[in-house]
Amino acid sequence: PVSYNNPSAQKLDVTYIAFVPLGMSIRERTDNSSWRNAESRNWTMRTFDGDHVVYRSRPAEIAELLEIAIKDRNQP
């Protein structure tokens, strides 16, 4: 497992994708500890409309986002 106490792990480029379900705003979705933890680690932050089964409901769209996210680089 990756431990973020490991200095080498902290140097990895990471993209955090928050799924925003129908009826929830991005603002509401970003108001949680997972978002804040990712943000404090300077990870690339992205949102995606849908729930945690987008691989079934919107497979082409999530695949496209993942292909784009491969190029994400964290900013210090």
Residue 44 domain-assigned? yes
Residue-range definition of the domain harbouring residue 63: 19-69
Residue 74 domain-assigned? no
* Chain segment 47-64, per-residue pLDDT in tens: 999 998 999 999 999 999
Cβ-based neighbours of 13, under 8 Å, separated by 6 or more? 44, 72, 73, 74
* Chain segment 6-27, per-residue pLDDT in tens: 888 888 999 999 999 999 999 9
The position carrying tokens 């409309």 is: 49
Residue 2 domain-assigned? no
pLDDT score at 2: 64
Overall domain count for the chain: 1
pTM of the predicted protein model: 0.84
Residue 14 domain-assigned? no
Q: First CA to last CA across the chain, in angstroms?
A: 23
Check if the beta carbon of residue 48 is closer than 8 Å to that of residue 18.
yes
Kindly report the average pLDDT of the chain as a whole number: 91
Check if the beta carbon of residue 4 is closer than 8 Å to that of residue 41.
yes
Residue 75 domain-assigned? no
